[in-house]
A and B are shown apart, each in its own frame.
Chain A
Amino acid sequence: MTGMLDFILDVYFYWVIIYFIGVNITYSILLVFSYREIATYMRRQALGDFRALLQSELTPSVSLLAPAFNEEATIVESIKSLLKLNYGKYEVVVINDGSTDKTLETMIGEFDLREVRQLYIPTLSARPVRCIYRSSSPEYGNLLIVDKENGGKADALNVGINVSSYEFFCAIDADSLLEEDALQRVVKPFLEDERVIATGGIVRIANGCEIVNGRVVSVGLSRKLLPVFQVVEYFRAFLSGRMGWQSSNALLIISGAFGMFRRRAVVEAGGYNPATVGEDMELVARLHRLHLERKIPYRIVFVPDPVCWTQAPETLNVLSAQRNRWHRGLMDVMKMHGVMLMNRRYGPVGRWAMPYFFFVELLGPVFEFFGYASILVLAIRGSLDLQMVILFFIVSLLYGVMFSVGAVLLEELSFSRYPNPKHLALLLAMGVLENFGYRQMTVWWRVRSFYDYARRKKDWGTMTRTEFAKAKSRID
């Protein structure tokens, strides 16, 4: 029995080393691709002039879809900010997904809403619509509020797509803030290339930023540790992850907080899937799958500088619920679209992106968790090679630091949103610190999500929102 356990631990040890090397090679390749993509993007941006987009009659109109569930604290500020975007013709469609607080009443009062007899064509099936409102005030002429029965974010977005009138729709979170020119930047790839069916913008952490009238006027970092850890995490995910994947048209995620889609393509794909908590990734995976199966040329693009600012969780409870949900969403996607995994028919998506998300993102926490567990077992049995463990920890720490520093460098080379050298130094320090505790916590939350998934848990967890203007705790 003891011999068997030793054998298993030995095999596991070698597996971990091989896995570790494989994962870090993948990260390195992604980082290199991202550098190349961002360099090209920056060169193109230097030539870009968006004035024509604001002046021309040929600029396409856009529907902005914002599902809202119990957002009474931030909804007015968010809508006002959405109505002030710098773009030609666009409509803001807020879908009240059966909120149980005063979200609808707040909107009715603030925007002077009246009921309209809009013909509702349920192109995509969704929970019933109760009522559609428009504002009586010309100031809010492009605002449409849809009140519907609760059905979740995906269901609300499907209603938004049914109600929307334009060729493109942009799905955003009602509690996020878009930068003034975000729509211009995110629509551009559609205009440059008819094959583009979806684009995603970058999501940045608003905690610690100074926000006035729904606009981020000064970028900063929160005094709390958790949001700052997430800033570095978001750099890695967006700048070095998504940018790298889009270079081979294998981008599998467009954040639900900010993504633009060609309406026709999404309707043909059947809209958002309400049966998953990872509806954003699932839609993108399905779009890939359908286009590849039907051999229709298409592109899905990540645009790294139209910014959507969001409030990151500041407490462990909320953060753990968020990560748990993200991981369950990933499991759903792998289950629903597993046919693409390592399948050459699906091009780079099947050969590279799906295996990456399966082996690295989905199973990575499990391997890491069992790694820690095996150290514990070895220590108990008194056969722990401490020198080896320390060395392995150092090398994994250094790799973690390398990718964090690489992502911060990428940000500094390109967009430099954190001009204060103090902020930059702090972000670098967080790249080291996150390996002591924070990383292990995220591993545990993600491992626990397997248990919740097996229990068919489908809830989103609750995110406590504060008014943006009140979230002032920042490092100056």
Chain B
Amino acid sequence: MKSIEFLLLFALTTAVTIVVVLLAVSLVIRKAVAVARTLVRGKLYDIYTEAAAKVLLSEIPSEVLSGKPSELFAYYDLLLQPIRSDLLEDSKAFLNQKRATLKGVLLDFSQDLSGEARERLTYCYYALGFVDEEIRRMRDRRWWVRANAARALGRYRARRGMFVLTDALEDKREEVRSQAMKSLIALAGPEALRDILQRSKGISRWHAIELSAEVAKFKAESVPLLLEALSYSEPSAVEFAIEMLAEVGFVDAVEPIRKIARGGVPANLQLTAIEALGRLGDTRGELLLLQLTLDPNVHIRMKAMDALARIGTPGAAEFVLERVAAGELPEKIVAVRALNRLGERGRRIVRDLLNGSVPQLRSVAAHVIDFAAPVGT
């Protein structure tokens, strides 16, 4: 019996020894390969930076520049010839490394190029087969390959990729949809918003944040598309459009946003719309907001009071004061905070509360006054 146990332990020892040795060896190999790759990549980077600089920064004769596009492309091809022939040599593995390094070099150049040089760079991507390669990769089974390809197409400014990118807006992986969205905006500008908002389903907050950073670059140009999106059936697209219209500060959006704030839509959409009315600061939203301070839903009442405070409607003080008297503590705080921002009349009410006889309201008023004061006073 003991010999069976011994054999079992011996077998385990041998198996684990093999695994440990394999793990340790793979660790060493990995470290060595990483160091070697870094060295090779560094050398290749230098070589291709020099070669790419010759292609992208060399002077082109004016007659070629003003001539037919085909002549210009032929000239680009001539410039690209040394790089092309270099890419024909070597083994497949090394070739892949070369192509990856070259892509990196060209992308680095793209940060500083504009005008004709930028177009020349885009031509390089096409001519070297990078664009078609990425379009093919957009059909890959692995999501990370598709997502990287979507990102690359945007960076290459390759309009040939727009169809696949538009399709990718409905990809089952959010990572791919997100990259496709950003690339489409890079390629088509604010116009891409229509496709993005129409075809995207359930825009996550992360997605919305990424998109908002892109849209913020276009500001006024994006307004018609955002207004159009207010009528879409996808609630997350409508919510995004409301947020962005408020951020851009387009006051003519008050009317359609007011319709949404009135209700009959999902609660979070209504709350976003009420907040947007406050951010837009237009008096056309006042009447509705005053009505909403009487809404049965406490969250809507609080948002409405906050929005009124942002607009600064002095006449709202009486409505808000009612909530100070009737609401629960969180609502009282929002109401007193709103009063403090509603002009001299509101501030006088807050001071009265501070000196009043209700201890809870005194505390709320003190809290609001202390926190409303700028730091350092």
Could you tell me which A residues sit within 8 Å of B by CB distance? Answer: 17, 21, 43-44, 46-47, 49, 51-53, 55-60, 116-119, 121, 134-138, 140-141, 188, 190-194, 385, 387-388, 391-392, 394-395, 398-399, 401-402, 405-406, 408-409, 412-413, 421, 424, 428
Contacts and interface: CB of A to CB of B under 8 A. Distances in A.
Contact of A58 (B16, B212, B363): B212
A338 B32 CA distance: 48
A117 B367 contact: yes
Contacts of A46: 144, 148
Interface of B: 2, 5-6, 8-10, 12-13, 16-17, 19-20, 23-24, 26-27, 30-31, 144, 147-148, 151, 174-175, 178-179, 204-206, 208-210, 212-214, 216, 243, 247, 329-330, 333, 363-364, 366-367, 369-371, 374-376
Given A56-B209, A424-B31, A121 B329 contact: yes
Given A55-B213, A58-B243, A141-B375, A117 B366 contact: yes
Nearest to A408: B27
A119 to B, nearest CB: 4
Nearest to A49: B210
Given A47-B148, A116-B370, A137-B375, A388 B17 contact: no
A398 B16 contact: yes
Contact of A391 (B9, B209, B214, B375): B9
22 contacts: A43-B147, A44-B175, A49-B210, A52-B210, A52-B212, A57-B243, A57-B247, A58-B209, A116-B371, A119-B366, A136-B376, A190-B205, A192-B204, A391-B6, A391-B13, A398-B16, A402-B23, A405-B20, A405-B23, A409-B27, A409-B30, A424-B31
Contacts of A53: 209
B5 A388 contact: yes
Contacts of B333: 119
Given A56-B213, A398-B13, A119 B364 contact: yes
Contact of B375 (A121, A134, A405, A412): A134
Nearest to A140: B375
B212 to A, nearest CB: 5
Given A116-B371, A398-B13, A388 B175 contact: no
Nearest to A57: B247
Given A117-B370, A395-B16, A406-B23, A55 B375 contact: no
A401 to B, nearest CB: 5
Contacts of B330: 121
Contact of A387 (B6, B20, B175, B208): B6
A36 B327 CA distance: 52
Nearest to A13: B5
A191 B9 contact: no
A21 B329 CA distance: 58
Contacts of B10: 391
Contact of A405 (B27, B243, B366, B371): B27
A388 B212 contact: no
A395 B375 contact: no
Given A47-B148, A56-B213, A117-B367, A395 B27 contact: no
Given A121-B329, A391-B9, A191 B206 contact: yes
B60 to A, nearest CB: 34
A119 B363 contact: yes
Contacts of A395: 9, 12-13, 16
A138 B367 contact: no
A421 B31 contact: yes
A118 B333 CA distance: 11
- What 7 pairs between A and B have smallest CB-CB spacing? A52-B213, A119-B367, A117-B366, A191-B206, A191-B205, A43-B144, A398-B16
Given A388-B2, A394-B13, A402-B19, 6 more contacts: A52-B213, A121-B329, A138-B375, A192-B204, A408-B27, A409-B27
Contacts of A412: 27, 30-31
A14 to B, nearest CB: 8
B30 A388 contact: no
A307 to B, nearest CB: 21
Contacts of B376: 136-138
Nearest to A401: B20
A137 B31 CA distance: 49
Given A52-B210, A188-B206, A409-B27, A402 B363 contact: no
Nearest to A44: B175
A329 B310 CA distance: 48
A191 B151 CA distance: 21
B204 A191 contact: yes
A388 B23 contact: no
A118 B27 CA distance: 56
Contacts of A140: 375
Contact of B216 (A21, A55, A60, A401): A55
B240 to A, nearest CB: 9
A454 B336 CA distance: 52
Contacts of A56: 209, 212-213, 216
B82 to A, nearest CB: 31
Contact of A17 (B5, B30, B204, B374): B5
A402 B329 contact: no
A398 B17 contact: yes
Given A118-B370, A119-B367, A138-B376, A388 B204 contact: no
Nearest to B354: A117
Contact of B6 (A52, A141, A388, A424): A388
Contact of A193 (B19, B24, B147, B204): B204
Contacts of A135: 375
Given A43-B144, A52-B213, A405-B27, A192 B206 contact: yes
Nearest to A188: B206
Contacts of B367: 117-119
B239 to A, nearest CB: 10
Nearest to A190: B205
A51 B375 CA distance: 28
Contacts of A392: 9
Contacts of B178: 47
- Residue of A57, A392, A401 ringed by the most chain B CB atoms within 10 A: A57
Contacts of A49: 210
A140 B376 CA distance: 10
Contacts of B363: 117, 119
Given A117-B363, A191-B204, A388 B20 contact: no
Contacts of B27: 405, 408-409, 412, 424, 428
Given A47-B179, A387-B6, A191 B13 contact: no
Contacts of B209: 52-53, 56, 58-59, 191
A53 B208 CA distance: 10
Given A47-B148, A191-B206, A118 B19 contact: no
Contacts of A409: 23, 26-27, 30
A192 B174 contact: yes
Contacts of A116: 370-371
Contacts of B216: 55-56
B20 A402 contact: yes
Interface centre among B5, B147, B371, B375 (most CB of A within 10 A): B375
A381 B371 CA distance: 76
A125 B43 CA distance: 63
